[in-house]
Homo-oligomer: A and B are copies of this chain.
Amino acid sequence: MTDTAPRPTLEAVAARAGVSRATVSRVVNGGDGVREPLVERVRRAVEELGYVPNQAARSLVTRRHDAVAVVVAEPETRVFADPFFALQLRGISKELTAHDNQLVLLLTEGRDDHARVGRYLAGGHVDGALVFSLHLDDPLPELIQRAGVPTVFGGRPGWSDGTTDVVYVDSDNRGGAREAVRHLVGLGRTRVAHITGALDQTSAADRLDGYRDVMGDADPELVVRGDFTPAGGERAMRELLDRCPDVDAVFAANDLTASGALRVLRERGRRVPEDVAVIGFDDMLPVAEQTDPLLTTVRQDIEEMGRLMARLLLRDLDRRSGGATPAGVVLPTTLIRRASA
């Protein structure tokens, strides 16, 4: 481990360049309003001394941190079993670094973690927060509201009644689900089932709504509850086959669920897609492209969602937005046809 060296200050650079601190500061912050020869001299001094501004000192006066907190509430380990989280993070990271902002990651695992996050956000360490509000009963949004930090949510928050001014980015879960089910119907399937996700998340509820939009009058027995995991998909598929042996199509709430369903289907000797057509949701490549047969699914651009969240937040932070920030942004989905339906 290396030792920490004493860093040169603005003062030192000023002395070396033979100018005042203010001038150095100007140059360092863009150099507007400083004559070229001086700029040059200061730049050289900065270079020679290896000067890097002290962020703490700067923040103290500007009240800006150029840092954004990303809060991932994950009581369960599910997030860690699929690349969703990582992809979104990458999108966020790209956008943030493009605007010279840092990403402070706050992972919460339990109740006491919530308090810690609340304190941190209230502590004014960051300019804003990006929050993944995963469950209906999550206390986090409440805490954040109170902390008074500009925030953008990932996924439509369940507690938002639409009248408040929560900003969020979401996929068109309902529309995507509709498209998937319509595709199944278009294939001539008449007994189209749905394995839901964890229904305390709006994404799962919305996909179920989409299914019902198309299959509203269908046998309610065809809807089985899942939980977004492969194991849940297996369980649900078994239940489904027992309950409705004549099922000829399944719309699974996500790819992981579909992969579990696929396994059970094979185990029970049903051919896919001949006997039962299967569609997933997400287009999680490592899953959808590894199933047998390859999975037909509804793609959502996860990385873009992350990027968009960051962009929305940053725009709000630079109060340039004459008009109000849009309350919710919903990204389109696309059906990716492979072999399973």
* Residues of chain A having any CB pair with chain B under 8 Å: 1-5, 7, 50, 52-57, 59-60, 65, 67, 70, 79-83, 85-87, 89-90, 93-94, 97, 102-107, 109, 113, 116, 119-120, 122-125, 145, 147-152, 165, 167, 230, 259, 263, 285-286, 290, 292, 316, 325
CB distance B1 to A151 under 8 Å? yes
Interface centre among A55, A85, A94, A116 (most CB of B within 10 A): A55
Q: A4 touches which one: B60, B94, B150 (CB < 8 A)?
A: B150
Closest 4 CB pairs of A and B: A56-B59, A93-B107, A1-B150, A80-B86
- Please measure, in the bound complex, the distance between the C-alpha atom of A83 and the C-alpha atom of B80, giving whole angstroms: 6
Q: Which residue of B lies closest to A53 (CB)?
A: B123
Q: How many copies does the complex hold?
A: 2
A291 to chain B: closest CB distance in Å? 10
Contacts A150-B2, A285-B81, A286-B82 hold; do A104 and B107 have CB atoms under 8 A apart? Answer: no
Q: Collect the chain B residues with CB atoms within 8 Å of residue A81's CB.
A: 83, 285-286
Q: Which residue of B lies closest to A80 (CB)?
A: B86
- Please measure, in the bound complex, the distance between the C-alpha atom of A107 and the C-alpha atom of B103, giving whole angstroms: 9
CB distance A116 to B97 under 8 Å? yes
- Please measure, in the bound complex, the distance between the C-alpha atom of A203 and the C-alpha atom of B65, giving whole angstroms: 38
- Please measure, in the bound complex, the distance between the C-alpha atom of A194 and the C-alpha atom of B104, giving whole angstroms: 40
Some 9 contacts from A to B, beta carbons below 8 A apart, are A52-B123, A53-B123, A54-B60, A55-B124, A56-B60, A70-B105, A79-B86, A89-B107, A90-B107
Q: Collect the chain B residues with CB atoms within 8 Å of residue A116's CB.
A: 97
A71 to chain B: closest CB distance in Å? 12
- Please measure, in the bound complex, the distance between the C-alpha atom of A60 and the C-alpha atom of B54, giving whole angstroms: 8
Q: Which residue of B lies closest to A62 (CB)?
A: B56
- Please measure, in the bound complex, the distance between the C-alpha atom of A243 and the C-alpha atom of B101, giving whole angstroms: 52
- Please measure, in the bound complex, the distance between the C-alpha atom of A290 and the C-alpha atom of B261, giving whole angstroms: 12
Q: Collect the chain B residues with CB atoms within 8 Å of residue A152's CB.
A: 1
CB distance B105 to A103 under 8 Å? yes
CB distance A89 to B105 under 8 Å? yes
Q: Collect the chain B residues with CB atoms within 8 Å of residue A1's CB.
A: 150-152, 165, 167, 316, 325
